[in-house]
Amino acid sequence: MRYLRGTWMRGGTSKCWLFDAEDLAGGDPGEVLAAAFGAGDPRQIDGVGGATSTTSKAALVRRSGAPGIDVDYRFAQVGIGARRVEWGSNCGNCATAIGLYALLTGLIEPERDRTTVRMRNTNTGTLLAAGIATPGGVVPETGTAVVPGAGDGGVPVELAFLDPSGSTTGVLSPTGRPLDRLPVPATLVDAGAPAALIDADAAGDLTVDELIALRRKAAVVMGLSGADDAIPKTGLVGRPRDPGHDLHVRMVSMLAPHPAVGLTSAVAITAAAGVEGSVVHRALGGRVPGVLRLGTPAGVVTVRAEWDSGGRLRAVRLDRAARRIAVAEISVPLTEDVALAS
């Protein structure tokens, strides 16, 4: 039996297990995480996983050696009914949690009034910043900030995705086109995460299965392997169906409907607003907004976008919440300890 110390955090609408990257060095961290989560079982009944896309997440966190960056983290989407881990994507909700975690664990020192934790997601190279009020240099353990899709309060965290375009493939539009036909019209962008944004007004209310089929097509067109269930983020985006929304958004996540919207998907949607002729640009009537209210199944997710004079997206900011749920020593049932030898 191997023992692994972990911190269980809620970030936005997700639960994430955070680990000191050093504790998983010298072996295959995916194997250890899959065993710790009970990933082989669709109910993850023999481990710490929650058996849904938003509760089967982990990250390995360490102090960064890079200038201007406080923390490096590697995100893991842990399998559900498959003893494996996907390393191809980032997770904004986990990043929210990591900001607070870095302060709670002393990885970085709090400032007098407000502390910004500068993070690098090593899966994608994305830079992020988490801003947390630390009045008197005290790190809050709890708070009353809520986000759509999670009714309980948490510590308010302002999460920023910095210069998010081309985070995985290097370019905002991997196909070079604002609109692709799958044949359903879709905009394929890479910002925050690779995403396939399908025209909800043209396609109608597609089923999850239809969206999953389109996801596979989009992966091929975007030059992704298609082996990673987490990307491209895929869903329907269209004109608002409620006066309080700017866009109608219905995403799938790990082959199931997302209860709200993944934050990397929110970034991709925001970036696509700046692409003339894209699904998002058209749904917004050509407007490139500074504030974007996404209508999700859980309610409105509000995004603040910062564009430079050349129309490039410099930052996407979201008001999120995080809370530490538990600190734990996990018993990891590894069949062969030899798997841990480097």
Binding site for a copy of itself (CB under 8 A): 1, 6, 8, 10, 13-15, 38, 40-41, 43, 45-48, 50-52, 54-55, 141-142, 149-154, 259, 323-331, 333
Cα–Cα distance between 41 and 80 in angstroms, integer? 7
- Between residues 284 and 301, which has the closer beta carbon with respect to a copy of itself? 301
- The residue type of 190 is D
* Minimum distance from residue 328 beta carbon to a copy of itself (Å): 4
Cα–Cα distance measured from residue 187 to residue 180, given in angstroms and rounded to the nearest whole number: 6
Of 12 and 238, the one with the shorter C-beta distance to a copy of itself is 12
Output 102 or 219, the one with its CB closest to a copy of itself: 102
Of the candidates 266, 91, 271, the one whose C-alpha atom is nearest the C-alpha of residue 164 is: 271
CA–CA distance, 341 with 15 (Å, rounded to integer):
29
How does strand 2-11 pair with strand 71-78? unpaired
Nearer to a copy of itself, 97 or 172 (CB): 97
Contact 306, 314 (CB under 8 A): yes
Q: How far is the CB of 4 from a copy of itself (least distance, A)?
A: 9
* CB of 67 vs a copy of itself, minimal distance in Å: 34
Alpha carbon 87 to chain centroid, angstroms: 12
Least gap, CB of 38 to a copy of itself (angstroms):
6
CB closer to a copy of itself, 202 vs 326: 326
Instruction: State which residue, 27 or 153, has the beta carbon closest to a copy of itself.
Output: 153
**CB of 335: closest distance to a copy of itself in angstroms?**
9
From the CB of 339, what's the least distance to a copy of itself, in Å?
A: 15
Per-position b or e across 319-338, b if 16+ CB within 10 A of its CB: bbbbbbeeeeebebebeeee
Nearest partner of 58 among 19, 22, 21, judged by Cα: 19
C-alpha Rg value of the chain to the nearest Å: 19
Nearest residue (CB) to a copy of itself, 17 versus 75: 17
- Signed CA dihedral, 104, 334, 2, 65: sign only: negative
Which of 230, 221, 228 has the alpha carbon at shortest distance from 187?
221
Q: How far is the CB of 189 from a copy of itself (least distance, A)?
A: 28
Beta-sheet strands, E only, within 80-175: 85-86, 114-121, 127-133, 145-147, 150-162
Identify the residue whose tokens are 């409907």: 257
* Minimal distance, residue 225 CB to a copy of itself, in Å: 28
Nearer to a copy of itself, 12 or 192 (CB): 12
Q: Positive or negative, the Cα torsion across 216, 75, 29, 68? A: positive
Do residues 237 and 279 touch, judged by C-beta distance below 8 A? yes
